[in-house]
């Protein structure tokens, strides 16, 4: 999505709010873009930056061809800075380095843009330091904060940003688009439940890591049913080894969530909603016989709690160990 017209197809309200600001030359000094993965946060951040630096705009649309646009796309523009988590979080040292940049004039103009990805992972100290910029904004400096978990953003930051809510994308239309482009249907059904990013979806469909992740989830469900005493060993010998980075750990929990949802759907006769398993998979029937509806609902809540703990930077191995014990009970 390299143009506002493309973004408007999936985020019409957000597009209208931001492009109206651009037309009136009233771009906010700080935006907080909040929405699920694949809803267009990164694309919108790029378009805001291009709107401030592009030399050949057509109305609000950047040309995407000039030197500035190309450098912003490649993240090589000297006056557009990206901050991403260093490991599990954005640390105070990263914010200190950013604050040093605040004191300098732009290298090619007085305009500067800062994009803070996964802003919910700011440590408390880092979040408090970033407030200095938000409380004393420079007229020609724009901060863009991206998050999937807006509730983890401290209120003092939220209150100083223009908050833009991005609506979830329609999974069915995205799924059909994947199938039209050649993805196998059952793969498209599963992946469309995890992402709305077209390039990411096809990357996962061809990724051996993702295939192994799904296989591990099937094995874990089977182990909960047949060998619960070996789950702890499985977690340490297989899960921890495969899901190493934070994004991988979150993806593992997303897959586990879908698997338990499917078992619950099968339990209540709603097989049409299943995405992880097929309705004729013998493991689903076996799992439905082993887990009561109450146990499944509790397990879903435990997985959601585990996802929140990862966002709060609780030690990942501890999170999955605790989750496994909760599901076993």
pLDDT exceeds 70 at position 317: yes
DSSP characters for 102-159?
Answer: HTSPPSSSS-EEEEETTGGGB-HHHHHHHHHHHHS--TTEEEEEEES-GGGS-HHHHT
Cα(48)–Cα(4) distance, integer angstroms = 10
Cα(290)–Cα(59) distance, integer angstroms = 60
Q: What is the mean pLDDT of residues 68-81?
A: 94
Judged by average pLDDT, the poorest of 26-30, 55-59, 128-132, 214-218 is: 128-132
Based on the number of CB atoms within 10 Å of its own CB, is 66 exposed (0-12), middle (13-18) or buried (19 or more)? middle
Q: What is the CATH number of domain 4-165?
A: 3.40.50.300
Q: How far is CA 275 from CA 2, 27, 150, in A?
A: 30, 41, 27
Tokens of 196: 């709305």
Confidence of residue 230 (pLDDT cuts 50, 70, 90): very high
pLDDT exceeds 90 at position 256: yes
pLDDT of residue 136: 74
pLDDT of residue 170: 76
Q: How far is CA 267 from CA 163, 263, 283, 300, in A?
A: 40, 6, 13, 14
pLDDT exceeds 70 at position 106: no
Q: What is the CATH number of domain 207-328?
A: 1.20.272.10
Cα(103)–Cα(98) distance, integer angstroms = 9
pLDDT exceeds 80 at position 37: no
Establish how many alpha carbons lie within 13 A of residue 246's alpha carbon, considering only the half-sphere containing its beta carbon.
18
pLDDT of residue 236: 95
Confidence of residue 143 (pLDDT cuts 50, 70, 90): very high
pLDDT exceeds 90 at position 105: no
Cα Rg of the chain (Å, integer): 22
CB atoms within 10 A of CB 282: 8
Cα(2)–Cα(268) distance, integer angstroms = 43
Give the pLDDT confidence of 108-136 residue by residue, as tens digits. 778 889 999 999 999 989 998 898 778 77
Q: What is the mean pLDDT of residues 93-122?
A: 83
pLDDT exceeds 90 at position 31: yes
Beta bridge partners, 89, equal 86
pLDDT of residue 195: 84
Cα(329)–Cα(322) distance, integer angstroms = 11
Cα(329)–Cα(327) distance, integer angstroms = 6
Give the pLDDT confidence of 57-69 residue by residue, as tens digits. 999 999 999 999 9
3-state class (DSSP) for residue 41: helix
Confidence of residue 198 (pLDDT cuts 50, 70, 90): confident
Of the chain, the percentage scoring pLDDT greater than 90 comes to: 69
Confidence of residue 137 (pLDDT cuts 50, 70, 90): low
Cα(34)–Cα(153) distance, integer angstroms = 10
> Which residue ranges make up each domain of the chain?
4-165, 207-328
Tokens of 311: 């966002």
Single out the residue of 185, 219, 220, 224 nearest to residue 205, CA to CA. 185
Residue with the bigger pLDDT between 1 and 29: it is 29
């Amino acid at each position: 999505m390299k143009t506002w017209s493309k973004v408007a197809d999936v985020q019409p309200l957000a597009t209208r709010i931001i492009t109206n600001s651009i037309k009136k030359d009233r771009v906010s000094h700080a935006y907080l873009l909040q929405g699920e993965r694949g809803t267009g946060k990164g694309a919108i951040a790029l378009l805001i930056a291009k709107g401030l630096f592009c030399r050949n705009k057509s109305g609000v649309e950047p040309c995407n061809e000039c030197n500035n646009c190309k450098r912003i796309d490649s993240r090589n523009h000297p006056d557009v800075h990206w901050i991403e988590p260093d490991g599990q979080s954005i640390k105070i040292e990263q914010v200190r380095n950013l604050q040093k940049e605040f004191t300098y004039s732009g290298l090619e103009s007085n305009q500067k843009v800062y994009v803070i990805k996964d802003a919910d992972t700011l440590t408390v100290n880092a979040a408090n330091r970033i407030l200095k910029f938000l409380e004393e904004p420079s007229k020609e400096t724009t901060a863009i904060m991206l998050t999937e978990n807006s509730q983890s953003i401290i209120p003092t930051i939220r209150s100083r940003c223009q908050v833009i809510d991005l609506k979830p994308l329609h999974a069915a239309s995205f799924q059909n688009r994947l199938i039209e482009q050649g993805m196998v249907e059952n793969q498209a059904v599963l992946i469309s439940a995890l992402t709305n990013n077209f390039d990411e979806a096809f990357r996962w469909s061809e990724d051996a890591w993702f295939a192994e992740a799904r296989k591990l989830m099937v094995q874990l469900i089977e182990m909960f049913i047949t060998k619960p005493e070996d789950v702890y060993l499985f977690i340490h010998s297989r899960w921890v080894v495969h899901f190493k980075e934070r994004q991988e750990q979150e993806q593992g929990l997303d897959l586990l969530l879908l698997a338990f949802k499917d078992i619950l759907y099968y339990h209540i006769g709603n097989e049409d909603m299943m995405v992880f398993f097929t309705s004729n998979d013998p493991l689903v029937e076996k799992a439905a016989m082993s887990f009561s509806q109450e146990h499944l609902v509790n397990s879903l809540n435990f997985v959601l709690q585990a996802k929140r703990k990862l966002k709060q930077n609780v030690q990942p191995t501890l999170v999955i160990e605790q989750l496994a014990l909760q599901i076993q009970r």
